[in-house]
Structure formats: C-alpha cells, structure tokens
A and B are shown apart, each in its own frame.
Chain A
C-alpha cells in the first residue's frame, strides 16, 4: 500500500486519506460580478494533467487536517507535501 506523508503525522497508509482534487483554486473575489461562463469554470472545470499536479488531500482517518501535495498523476509518486499556508514548492 502506498504511504502518504501527512505534514503533521508523517507517513501513513493511503486508506487513511481522502482526495480533494486540484489545489490553489481560490473562491472568486467578487462572486456577484462573475458571468455564467466564469461561474462554470469555477464550479466544474479543473486541470487534469498527466504528470505533476498540485492537489488537496485530507488525513480523514488521522488528524483530519487538510494539506496540499504535488503528485505525479502518471506514476502516483508524491513529490512534495506542504501545509495550506505554504506556497507550492518548486519540484525538480
């Protein structure tokens, strides 16, 4: 089983975690001003790269805290984990 390194708890088994999709998708600053198209993009459209992807994870069966990770979607390798208040790390 794949181990995922929670920034607070350290490496734990994958089944303890739940997935939160793409990271760094901010809520619109001025929601009332959005067009239908802009709303659609905020609600439905997410990046879907083959390769490095910055995404949200929750240690739901552990400390229950959210964090971000950079993971390769082709190999499933975690390249970095970081806290929500940290910027996306530069990966080699």
Chain B
C-alpha cells in the first residue's frame, strides 16, 4: 500500500470563527489578555470607535482562563451607585448581545435569588433592594413562601442550621454560555481585522519616560500606541514588570458541575452566609461555585476541603441534590481588591490602562467593561461609568465598598 497523508480522507475543515494571527511589528492598541474582557474591548474598539489596528495577546489559548472557568452568573443588583452604574450598563448590553454579535450566547434571564439567613442579612438585603430600585435596577424582596414559589427545591423549612428568612430577587438576572460569549466576541473582532494572537506571553515593556512604547513577548517585540491590561489573576505579574503597585491579591476560586440532570432548578440561587451559588446549565449540569481559597495562589486549583464545605451547604439548602454526583471540579485565579470593586483606569504611564480587581465577579461585566474600556482607550479619558474605580481611591479613601453588600463574594 502506498503511504497516505494522515487526515486526507477527512472532510474539509469547517469555517473558522476566528484566525490565529502572526504578530505584526506594531499596533495602535495592544490588549494584554485574550479572555472575555480583552476580546470584548477589542470588539467595541472596532464597533464603536473604528479602531482596528489592534492586537489581543493571549499567553495561553483564547478564552481559556477565567472565561472558561466561571459560573456564568449575570446580575446588576449591587448596592452602591457606582457599581450599579457599570453592572446595569453591562446587563443592558447582555440583553442585546446576541443581536450585536450575530451569534447565539444562550443568554437566559431566569432571575437570581440572593438568600438571607440572618436578621442582619434581611436588613442589608432590603436596603439593597431599595437602593437598586432608586437606581432603576429591577429588584424585589421576597418572603420564604415567595422564594419557594420561584424555586420550589430550596429548603425553606425553619428546621435547618441557617433558615431561609427571605431573598432578594432580580428577574432580569441570569446566565449565559461563557464559551459562546468568548467565541462571539472573538469572531466579530477577527472580522473587523483585529489580530487575535495566542501562545504569546508578555514578558516585559519598553518605556520612554512616562509612556510605554512597546511590549516584549515570547513571540518578539511589538511596538504600540497604547496598552490595556486585561489579565485578571495575572495582573500583578504585568504591573510588577512596569513597577506599578496595584492592591490586588490573586486567589484560587473553585467551581464544579454535577452530572447531567433533568431540569430541576429554574433560576439562580446565591447564598452569602453558607457560601454557595447554584444554577442549572442548559445541558442539565448543576453548576456551583464556592468561595475563594484563603491563600494567594496562581495554580488554577484549590483545596478539596473548600469543595466539601460547599457541598455540605448545597445539600442543606437543596436536599434534592443529595443524590446527585459530582462530575468535575476546577479552579481559576481571581484578582481580589480591598473593597471588592474593580480597579479600572489610569496608571502612572499615560498610555497604559488598567482593568483588574474584578475578583470573583468579572464575567457579568464582560460587555460593560469592554464598551467602557474601549471608550477610555479611544478618548484617552476614563468613561464616566468606570471613573469612580480609580487606583487612586485607595489613597483618597473614596472606596466603593461592595464587601458582602452585594451578596456572595460576587
């Protein structure tokens, strides 16, 4: 038999959603990080501002970090005006995103319940509902009977360790298919002529006074007009190269899925006090997230004791889950900030823009930060919705303290 080319008998490769480009020598804008935030920023730079001489540099593969690892919860029921501004802007963009991207993202507005288990939880929750209403964000306070009507499998009996005393409800909240979101943004950015470059790690910066002139990468030096850092858990690695102190700490955050089950869970449930958040993906897995592992870590894995504690809480709240089987657990790296709010905007380098500190809640912000960071880069001036989230606020004291106020660690 004559030798055959391996794969010669396979069908033609289907059309690619995007192309893996070679880096050029120079760009107007370099975005470091090819996750949700980086890809969304690229899309809005092209769509809203006509800026397409842009590279997105990704050290691994596109959308393979936290974008592939999060629990996909989307909501905007934050306490403070600054937070509800950016998160509600994001939620509104989610509501039109399938149309904008021309790509299905399985955005499902099934609502989110944030459970209250103590009297203090109840007071904080009612306050947050009122704050949300004043900010035009849909929010309701529900008593345990109303909670049961929306999500019949929640254990609302008084006979558990942390009884459910009620919940806040945001009907417009929901979930989306995270991979599709990354692919949708990547496809549109690629169509616009933006270079998506994988396997390209930034190893340094070249500077001239208070400007960065280029990035050094594992695939050569690239000159650039401006830089946007969208590296989430690896932000400190980049800012250390630039000598910019940034008050974030990287922690492992774990999540897990069960095997596929019949639809049992109609909404999203989050509980701050017992630290679990659960939804059911379209395919049928229960998707659950935990709290962060306490120590600093870049390992994309965490301790099993965290999963164990989370399962105990989930089974107490949802007795029906006791017979479900765990299929997979994994971890991502989240960059937490001192006030649980993001850090976006200026750095000591006039053409380097910071976007970090989203902690455990960056996914929901994907289109919101993409559009506002693109605006910021295009105008050389922070967009009004991100203006409160400066690095300087840790010096001036103008913190946006969302610790606990907006439910579970985001």
List A residues at the B interface (Cβ < 8 Å).
1-2, 14-15, 18-19, 21, 36-37, 40-41, 43-46, 48-50, 53, 55, 71, 73-76
Q: Note all chain A residues with C-beta closer than 8 A to B396.
A: 36
Instruction: Name 17 A/B residue pairs within 8 A (Cβ), A-sorted.
Output: A15-B303, A15-B305, A19-B294, A21-B296, A36-B397, A37-B395, A44-B338, A46-B247, A49-B236, A49-B240, A50-B237, A50-B298, A53-B296, A73-B295, A75-B299, A76-B295, A76-B299
Extra inter-chain contacts (5) besides given A45-B394, A55-B296, CB under 8 Å: A48-B236, A48-B248, A50-B234, A71-B295, A73-B298
A6 → B minimal CB distance (Å) = 15
Smallest CB separation, B237 vs chain A (Å): 5
Q: Which residues of B contact A71 (CB under 8 A)?
A: 295
Given B234, B236, B250, B303, which contacts A1 in the complex, CB threshold below 8 Å?
B303
Which of B295, B299, B396 has most A Cβ within 10 Å?
Answer: B295
Partner of A74, one of B295, B298, B394: B298
Asked if B304 lies at the interface with its beta carbon under 8 angstroms from chain A, I say yes
Q: Are A45 and B297 in contact (CB under 8 A)?
A: no
Q: A50 contacts which chain B residues (CB < 8 A)?
A: 234, 236-237, 250, 298
Which residues in A have their C-beta under 8 angstroms from that of B193? none
The answer for the CA separation of A18 and B305 in the assembled complex, in Å, is 13
Please give, as numbers and ranges, the residues of chain B lying within 8 Å of A73 by CB-CB distance. Answer: 250, 295-299
Q: Is the interface of B mostly helix, strand, loop or mixed?
A: loop
Q: Interface of B with A (CB < 8 Å)?
A: 234, 236-237, 240, 245-250, 294-299, 303-305, 338, 394-397
Chain B residue contacts of A41, Cβ below 8 A: 245
Residue of A nearest to B235 (CB): A48
Q: Which residues of A contact B247 (CB under 8 A)?
A: 44-46
* Contact residues in A for B397 (Cβ distance below 8 Å): 36
Q: Which residues of B contact A40 (CB under 8 A)?
A: 394-395
Query: A48's closest neighbor in chain B, by CB?
Result: B236
Q: Lowest 5 CB-CB distances: which A-B pairs, in order?
A: A48-B236, A19-B294, A40-B395, A44-B247, A50-B298
Which residue, of A14, A36, A48, A49, has the highest number of chain B Cβ atoms within 10 A? A48
A44:B296 contact, CB within 8 angstroms = no
Residue of B nearest to A74 (CB): B298
Nearest Cβ on chain A to B193's Cβ, whole angstroms = 33
How far is the CB of A69 from the nearest CB of chain B, in Å? 10
Task: Tell whether, in the assembled complex, residue B294 and residue A46 are in contact, meaning their CB atoms are under 8 Å apart.
Answer: no
Q: How far is B36's CA from A37's CA once the two chains are assembled, in angstroms?
A: 33
Complex CA gap A15/B293 in Å reads 11
B305 touches A1 (CB 8 A): yes
Residues of A within 8 A of B395 (CB): 36-37, 40
